[in-house]
Amino acid sequence: MRGIVQLTEHPTVIAIAQARDATPAQVLIAWGARRGQSVIPKSVREDRIISNFKEIELSDEDFDKISSIGDGNYTR
């Protein structure tokens, strides 16, 4: 059985974040917003709250890569 990996630690998300000079959280916020979802990140640290407001754009390819993370993994 594979270990459960948090999405902020998933290699695909990390690679996209590094390519966009962003944090994994920013990538996942952008992905959720692009899906039309209301995204309300939670943090008590001021630097993370500020970081979460930085908007980034995902390419269609990046969006599809993140969307496919759950394929075949029905625990998500």
Burial class (CB in 10 A: 0-12, 13-18, 19+), 66: buried
Please check whether residue 74 lies inside any domain of the structure. Answer: no
* Residue 15: CB atoms within 10 Å: 14
Please check whether residue 13 lies inside any domain of the structure. Answer: yes
Please check whether residue 73 lies inside any domain of the structure. Answer: no
Domain residues for 28? 7-67
Terminal Cα-to-Cα distance of the chain (whole angstroms): 15
Please check whether residue 75 lies inside any domain of the structure. Answer: no
* Residue 18: CB atoms within 10 Å: 12
Q: How many residues does the chain have?
A: 76
pLDDT in tens, 22-74: 999 999 999 999 999 888 888 899 988 888 888 899 999 999 999 998 777 66
Number of domains making up the chain: 1
Q: Specify the pLDDT at position 65.
A: 95
